[in-house]
């Protein structure tokens, strides 16, 4: 059995990986299409070795993959690649094999993963410094920056901004169409003047209602409500497009009873008591009607015994419920996807 099979069960400690195993991980990270083209440029026995390791790699952790990609990038930065060495040499080789466009795409992926491109700085730097920087920029620039980050990081940044700026940024992001590479390059230059950075060519902006929905799905409930309401005040159609891409706490009322029962079984009961504080009777009954008689009575008693609670605590409980629902959906246990009439069979 390949050493990689055993190492996989131990989360593939990077220090124990061979060079071939690291190449296999890099190929997996770069994706099927790019990996296939790169393999064509290896000798037959090299392709066989790398392919075998890829086939045996069934339990690759994201942390190990990121560490291998970072090691690859840093070696090129330190000119440890071949006799000529350096990142420029590596780019030349890839350009010869794949063409300049695909070679640049590979390096954009690597720079994004290692946090070494301009936008990568916003993924890794101290949140207070990032918020201070973004707060002093035009909302359009801030929207473009958030479009380049992971939704969870964008949500974290958004939660630190004041409510008016939250609206200004997310409205522009939701209204944003594809923006040319040249415009992004100009924005990168502005950012570099303030925080420095490595040359990188950003991808086209991933804007629109779905981008905002992805960010708000990671944000706390108060941010979510403020943004949706503010956009709804100026553009109800756009706000509805965002809602259609999201799962809101109020949407639980539309789930089928089996799904609600599965959610209840997985939830912390104290979160349910707190999260249902001040919501509609329909939503409360959606939970109660899917409990046993004894559990229903206990829930009612706990809700009545709960005195005044700060709205922030209620929102946090609701957010924990939403997170649990997302975990169940990711695991394939439930589905919150809205079904259209066209998908129903009589």
Interval 182-240: pLDDT, tens: 666 677 776 666 654 333 333 344 567 777 887 887 777 778 888 888 888 888 888 88
Task: Specify the higher pLDDT residue, 198 or 146.
Answer: 146
Q: Where do we find the tokens 């909302």?
A: 139
| CATH class assigned to 249-336 | mainly alpha
Contact in structure between 9 and 59 (CB atoms under 8 Å): yes
In angstroms, the CA 190 to CA 196 distance is 9
Res 163 pLDDT > 60: yes
What tokens were used for 275?
A: 């999260």
- Least confident residue range of 151-160, 162-171, 225-234, 243-252: 243-252
Per-residue pLDDT, 343: 42
Q: How many CA atoms lie within 13 A of 169 on its CB side?
A: 31
Cβ atoms < 10 Å from Cβ of 120:
19
Contact in structure between 203 and 229 (CB atoms under 8 Å): no
pLDDT tens digits along 96-125: 656 666 666 665 555 555 445 567 677 777
pLDDT tens digits along 27-86: 887 776 677 677 667 776 676 677 667 766 766 777 788 788 777 766 665 544 444 444
Contact in structure between 19 and 81 (CB atoms under 8 Å): no
Beta bridge partners of 275: none
Task: Specify the higher pLDDT residue, 165 or 55.
Answer: 165
Per-residue pLDDT, 204: 40
In angstroms, the CA 346 to CA 215 distance is 37
What tokens were used for 284?
A: 């409360």
- Least confident residue range of 86-90, 183-187, 243-247, 262-266: 86-90
Per-residue pLDDT, 270: 92
Q: Where do we find the tokens 């944003």?
A: 176
- Name the band, by pLDDT with cuts 50, 70 and 90, for residue 249: confident
In angstroms, the CA 160 to CA 126 distance is 12
Per-residue pLDDT, 338: 54
Q: What values do phi and psi take at 65, rounded to 5?
A: -60, -45
Contact in structure between 260 and 286 (CB atoms under 8 Å): yes
- Region 308-332: mean pLDDT is 87
Q: Where are the domains of the chain?
A: 3-114, 121-244, 249-336
What tokens were used for 26?
A: 């890099």
Three-class SS state of 330: helix
| 248 exposure class (CB count in 10 Å sphere: 0-12, 13-18, 19+) | middle
Task: Tell me the CATH number of domain 121-244, given options 2.40.50.100, 3.30.470.10, 1.10.3720.10, 1.10.220.30.
Answer: 1.10.220.30
Cβ atoms < 10 Å from Cβ of 317:
23
- Name the band, by pLDDT with cuts 50, 70 and 90, for residue 179: low
Nearest to 169 by CA among 248, 246, 232, 227: 227
- Least confident residue range of 16-20, 259-263, 342-346: 342-346
Asked if the domains at 121-244 and 249-336 fall in one CATH topology, the answer is yes
Task: Specify the higher pLDDT residue, 113 or 131.
Answer: 131
- Name the band, by pLDDT with cuts 50, 70 and 90, for residue 178: low
């Amino acid at each position: 059995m390949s050493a990689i099979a055993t190492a996989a069960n131990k989360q593939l400690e990077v220090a124990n990986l061979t060079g071939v195993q690291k190449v296999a991980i890099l190929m997996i990270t770069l994706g099927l299409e790019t990996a296939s083209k790169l393999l064509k440029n290896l000798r037959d026995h090299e392709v066989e070795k790398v392919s075998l390791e890829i086939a045996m790699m069934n339990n690759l952790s994201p942390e190990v993959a990121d560490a291998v990609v970072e090691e690859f990038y840093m070696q090129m930065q330190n000119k440890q690649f071949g006799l000529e060495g350096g990142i420029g040499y590596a780019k030349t080789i890839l350009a010869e094999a794949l063409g300049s466009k695909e070679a640049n795409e590979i390096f954009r992926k690597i720079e994004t993963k290692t946090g070494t491109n301009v936008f990568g700085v916003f993924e890794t730097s101290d949140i207070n410094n990032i918020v201070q920087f973004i707060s002093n920029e035009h909302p359009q620039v801030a929207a473009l920056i958030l479009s380049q980050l992971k939704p969870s990081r964008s949500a974290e940044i958004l939660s630190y901004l004041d409510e008016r700026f939250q609206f200004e940024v997310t409205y522009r992001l939701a209204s944003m169409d594809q923006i040319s590479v040249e415009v992004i390059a100009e924005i990168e230059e502005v950012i570099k003047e303030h925080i420095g950075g490595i040359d990188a060519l950003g991808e086209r902006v991933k804007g629109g209602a779905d981008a905002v929905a992805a960010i708000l799905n990671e944000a706390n409930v108060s941010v979510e409500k403020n943004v949706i309401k503010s956009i709804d005040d100026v553009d109800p159609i756009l706000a509805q497009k965002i809602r259609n891409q999201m799962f809101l706490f109020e949407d639980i009322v539309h789930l089928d009873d089996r799904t609600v029962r599965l959610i209840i079984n997985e939830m912390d009961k104290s979160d349910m008591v707190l999260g249902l504080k001040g919501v509609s009777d329909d939503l409360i009954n959606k939970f109660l009607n899917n409990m046993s008689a004894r559990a229903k009575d206990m829930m009612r008693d706990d809700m009545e015994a709960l005195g005044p609670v700060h709205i922030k605590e209620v929102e946090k409980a609701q957010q924990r419920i939403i997170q649990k629902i997302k975990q169940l959906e990711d695991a394939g246990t439930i589905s919150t996807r809205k079904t259209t009439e066209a998908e129903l069979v009589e």
